[in-house]
A and B are shown apart, each in its own frame.
Chain A
């Protein structure tokens, strides 16, 4: 069955004969630079990543192989107009997510008004009943959100997933840009690219803005599970670039409901913690008692309003894919507007009609676990075998409430370098949205993930995905 070609972000639907007018210059650059030269630069970038230790798997004592996420030298470009539409949509969505979190852990108006079924929230394992009534400093819950977007046409952007726990990948956005500046400086002469290097400063401002008590210099830290964690590079990268301490649980101590870090000059009070540890592990007194990564008493200090946790515990409920399916209603409920960024059509298998439709169309749909991530526990109907589909059918009938289904989208493609030359590959996009007490900050850029295998729609790094730099062009009028 021949599929219609996907929308290519540079070539449009022309199949490579004629570039979209605003990106003609990129097409010319690609044509003028021999693939061997592009290849050489790409390898130089990857060698630099390896040397810097931008690794993604743990490289422990015994493990000889260090893995880096493959990097693709051909950037992906958003026009100023596209970006301004996207960022307006992102801002609206993240504001709504924060309002939603404050509401369900507070008065639960949205449940009483019957917009979302109560049991979907209250019986959801991602909902933390211990956090009911919590008042995070300045009312911010999701300080850092990574919204995963996909595209199917010139103006057709869709939200695929909201990441409101601890979205990762921002270090790739920054390192990819550094690599491009070093290896393809001419591109920055051709295009007026908005810089992304202010991200660490914006993150620091966001963190300072949510310090519990106003003061001159709130103490902010990054809390990591330790250097055996696969994302340790990113943790140390951020702490380093912000200029704050990278702490482990053993460096922190809660005394009288305040959090202190042990320094060579004695205890120092900590005001804001950007924690890269999951809720379940963050405080053994409240959540998993066997956690050695957590800080006993941290939640108590947080609930007393003495420390800000970035992101607040309990935000995982906004990641849940069943909750996701209600995002258009959630946005409408809190903003009074229609969602600017649409959801992908979603069938909640908990509902009998949706389940029937899903079961009848398993070979056409993508079926996902509501709490799954990383591309695990999902069925991609069009590429699955008969056996896989039958197996999934059994699971689906047994526990329909654990699944949602979505149509397979024709994800947009971007020209990408491979052994044979340059060919279109499917991409997605994760911009990072910062929410402080003083408003929302979005760096013009994000993480573009690319499925390096021909035809593949799975961009996850654990399954052969790579990254690309994402150029956002400055507004020509604003720039002049």
Chain B
């Protein structure tokens, strides 16, 4: 496979995943805002900007912080490189360049998702924004479905590798912004506001019901942290994402018989996750742990680029 093709597929995977994450983030934020007493809901929106690492960029626009300005910035703003529209544009441009490496269904979902935001000028009111979010989520599901029916070759592995790396990055950022809410068991548990925040985290990674299945008890912040970091049953956890990264890299290296720095980095990170316990993570500092994890992502990115000669 051409290196350029691999590069385009990897980034197609990353951008689709990022678009979907941002859609979920927005959905959870709308929910949190409507639960919050007026006008405290603004905190939900500023937190959403942090999770999307878009605080700085948003400030640059000079707009006042408001639900509609943030919603617009996260969904459609062309000046925000991670807005849903920009993600889908990048995903489509990458996919179009390697169109023949994709199945027709995979291409069509990307194309349709792009069409749904291409000419939008405003996310509209809450209801319209929620509809848009549902549409993006549905297309992302469609893309995943198409991906699983593609030929199991390098093309699908690079797409899934990109998606898994992006997923790990998103979940880690979400946790890092909210880590102060996720207290160890000996700390005093907060009130209703904290509960809403925890639910928001779970909504963002589509894990509200999963939590009930895994723990069968009321929301405990440390269990939420454990689930999102260590439980590989949860597809968006750090553990599951890294497992997928390792599996995709293994599939690729098995074909060529060669392993590289990317394999080593991903395996090391996965091993650390497997050996961790949530109480130990709290002891040594959740924030520090997540910072270290997040620093690994660009390193992994570079290793992948080097190993498969993207440059």
Contact = CB atoms under 8 A, between A and B. Distances in A.
B3 A263 contact: yes
Interface string A261-276: 1111110000000000
A182 interface: no
A240 interface: yes
Interface stretch (A126-134, A243-251, A317-325): A243-251
Given A263-B309, A264-B154, A250 B4 contact: yes
Interface string A53-80: 1000000010000000000000000000
Contacts of B203: none
A133 to B, nearest CB: 33
Nearest to A262: B3
Interface stretch (B30-38, B92-100, B207-215, B217-225): B92-100
Nearest to A59: B96
Given A227-B97, A240-B100, A265 B2 contact: no
A331 interface: no
Contacts of A263: 1-3, 309
A411 interface: no
A251 B97 contact: no
A236 interface: yes
A247 B1 CA distance: 10
Given A61-B89, A266-B309, A261 B100 contact: no
A239 interface: yes
Given A262-B309, A264-B309, A265-B256, A239 B100 contact: yes
> Among the interface residues B154, B258, B309, which one has the most CB atoms of the partner chain A within 10 A?
B309
Given A262-B309, A264-B256, A264-B308, A251 B4 contact: yes
A264 B96 CA distance: 20
A264 B100 contact: no
Interface residues of B, number: 18
B135 to A, nearest CB: 19
B110 interface: no
Nearest to B154: A264
A269 to B, nearest CB: 14
Contacts of A262: 2-4, 309
Contacts of A245: 2
A248 B7 CA distance: 14
Interface string A216-256: 00000000001100000000100110000111101100000
Nearest to B114: A61
Contacts of B70: none
A343 to B, nearest CB: 40
A259 B256 CA distance: 22
A263 B310 CA distance: 9
A430 to B, nearest CB: 25
Contacts of B256: 264-265
B201 interface: no
Nearest to B89: A61
A52 B100 CA distance: 11
Contact of B100 (A246, A248, A250, A265): A246
Interface of A is mostly: mixed
Contacts of A52: 104
A246 B97 CA distance: 10
A227 B3 contact: no
Contact of B2 (A227, A240, A251): A251
Contacts of B93: 61
Interface residues of A, number: 20
A166 B311 CA distance: 31
A473 to B, nearest CB: 33
A52 B111 CA distance: 12
Nearest to A233: B99
> Among the interface residues A226, A236, A247, A250, which one has the most CB atoms of the partner chain B within 10 A?
A236
B168 interface: no
Contacts of A246: 100
> Among the interface residues A240, A246, A250, which one has the most CB atoms of the partner chain B within 10 A?
A246
B96 A227 contact: yes
A236 B104 CA distance: 13
A276 to B, nearest CB: 15
A60 B223 CA distance: 48
B2 A261 contact: yes
Contacts of A247: 2
A265 B96 CA distance: 23
A131 B89 CA distance: 43
Contacts of A266: 309
A263 B189 CA distance: 54
Contacts of A248: 4
A440 B93 CA distance: 39
Contacts of B1: 263-264
Contacts of A265: 256, 258
Contacts of A227: 96-97, 99
Contacts of B309: 262-264, 266
B71 interface: no
Contact of B3 (A236, A240, A264): A264
A246 B100 CA distance: 9
A251 B258 CA distance: 22
Contact of A264 (B6, B97, B99): B6
Nearest to A266: B309
Nearest to A250: B4
A227 B8 CA distance: 13
Contacts of A239: 100
Nearest to A265: B256
A236 B4 contact: no
B110 to A, nearest CB: 12
A145 to B, nearest CB: 26
Nearest to B6: A264
Interface string B1-18: 111101000000000000
Contacts of B99: 53, 227, 236
A266 B2 CA distance: 9
A368 B48 CA distance: 64
A368 B104 CA distance: 43
> Among the interface residues B2, B154, B309, which one has the most CB atoms of the partner chain A within 10 A?
B2
Interface of B: 1-4, 6, 89, 93, 96-97, 99-100, 104, 154, 252, 256, 258, 308-309
8 contacts: A226-B97, A227-B99, A262-B4, A264-B2, A264-B154, A264-B256, A265-B256, A266-B309
Given A61-B89, A263-B2, A264-B252, 19 more contacts: A52-B104, A53-B99, A236-B100, A239-B100, A240-B100, A246-B100, A248-B4, A250-B4, A251-B2, A251-B3, A261-B2, A262-B2, A262-B309, A264-B1, A264-B6, A264-B154, A265-B256, A265-B258, A266-B309
Interface of A: 52-53, 61, 226-227, 236, 239-240, 245-248, 250-251, 261-266
What 4 A-B pairs have minimum CB-CB distances, sorted nearest first?
A: A264-B308, A262-B3, A240-B100, A236-B100
